[in-house]
């Protein structure tokens, strides 16, 4: 099995200043899942979006908050928190602390597909 060292993976810049490192997966979709690490600077917020497959997001470092479709409350994010998002569940998250919010995302798909929604 291949070994991936996170320090060897280049970050892909996102609008707003976040970066995303694809740890497992490639453009060809040669793996059944995609795993990535997103590093979001303080104040960064994702757009309201969903995915046509299940996704999990685990907070590795930092603080933030998230909104998930079907809930009226904002979820506090801290190290060790995992969100389990069924397919087509609209959501957003943001970094609220003074340090970057670092999240590990697992996409149950060979391709990372993001559907952005109007707010």
pLDDT over threshold 60, residue 1: no
Q: How many other C-beta atoms lie within 10 A of the C-beta of residue 38?
A: 23
Instruction: With beta carbons less than 8 A apart as the criterion, state whether 65 and 46 touch.
Output: no
pLDDT over threshold 90, residue 27: no
Instruction: Compute CA 8 distance to the chain's CA centroid, rounded to the nearest angstrom.
Output: 19
Closest CA to 91 of 80, 77, 102, 79: 77
Residues 31-81: tens digit of each pLDDT: 999 999 999 999 999 999 999 999 999 999 999 999 999 998 999 999 999
Burial environment of residue 60 by CB neighbours within 10 A (0 to 12, 13 to 18, 19 or more):
middle
């Amino acid at each position: 099995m291949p070994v991936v060292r996170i320090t060897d993976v280049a970050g892909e810049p996102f609008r707003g200043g976040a970066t995303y490192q694809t740890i497992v997966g490639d453009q060809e979709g040669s793996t059944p899942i995609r795993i990535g690490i997103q590093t979001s600077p303080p104040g960064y917020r994702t757009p309201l979006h969903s995915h046509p497959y299940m996704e999990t997001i685990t907070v590795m470092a930092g603080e933030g908050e998230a909104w998930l479709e079907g809930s009226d409350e904002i979820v506090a994010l801290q190290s060790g928190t995992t969100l389990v998002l069924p397919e087509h569940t609209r959501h957003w998250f943001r970094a609220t602390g003074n340090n970057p919010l670092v999240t590990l995302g697992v996409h149950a798909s060979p391709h990372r597909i993001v559907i952005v929604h109007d707010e």
